[in-house]
A = this chain, B = another copy of it.
Amino acid sequence: MNDSVLTPERILAAAEDVLRRYGPGKATVVDVAQALGVSHGSVYRHFASKAALRDAVLRGWLARSMAPLQAIATSRTPPPARLRQWFSALRQTKRDNVLGDPELFATYSALAAEAGEAIAEHKGRMQQQIASILAAGVASGDFRQLDPAAAARALFDATARFHYPGFSHLWDQPGEDAAFSQLLDLLLAGLAPAPAAPRRRKPAR
């Protein structure tokens, strides 16, 4: 049961395991301490509260889930295709999690619901990745002149329907792929360099 000294890392690993096995509603810090073969008081020497422990576990998960997206964001793919790839990967990751292991995903969601801070930071990092793709596209002339940060937020918002877990109940319905693809088409069209001049058939009155 016990192994060398008690570190935050070991506690974190045990907490993750307990959370996975018992679910967010049943996992107690006594369980975590038991898994480590120590008293629950010892856990409180390293984490100020149960909430802090859960927060730390969540941050770990978020960091791991973000890595593949980071790779896409910094790839050499032409910006429009890269942007499409990035959003597709974001959507696919969430989808796989929800549909593949719903219990684990429910656990993640329960933690996320309490950790506004961690989630806000995570969203910020996601939007930075999008902004970096946009900046590259503006530089290459693939995208029109725009504020990368503001446009990144708009894109992130616009696709929320396909990556925000609150909508996961829709993700296995027919037509989802097509709808997502349609949306990306529309958004990419909106990012394309502006045409010469808008032509109106009816004169403005």
Which A residues have a C-beta under 8 Å from some C-beta of B? 78, 140-142, 144, 150-151, 153-155, 157-162, 164, 166-167, 178-179, 182-183, 185-196, 198-202, 204
Contacts and interface: CB of A to CB of B under 8 A. Distances in A.
Nearest to A150: B182
A125 B5 CA distance: 63
A186 B195 contact: no
B204 A186 contact: no
Contacts of A204: 78
Contact of A200 (B141, B182, B186): B141
A194 B191 contact: no
Nearest to A188: B190
Contact of A190 (B142, B186, B202): B186
B195 A183 contact: no
A192 B193 contact: no
A183 B154 contact: yes
Contacts of A192: 195, 198
A128 B202 CA distance: 24
Nearest to A141: B201
Contacts of A155: 186
A31 to B, nearest CB: 31
A37 to B, nearest CB: 41
19 contacts: A78-B204, A140-B202, A141-B199, A151-B182, A154-B185, A155-B186, A157-B179, A158-B158, A158-B161, A158-B187, A161-B161, A186-B190, A186-B191, A187-B187, A189-B189, A189-B191, A190-B190, A193-B199, A194-B195
Contacts of A164: 161, 166-167
B200 A140 contact: yes
A66 B155 CA distance: 27
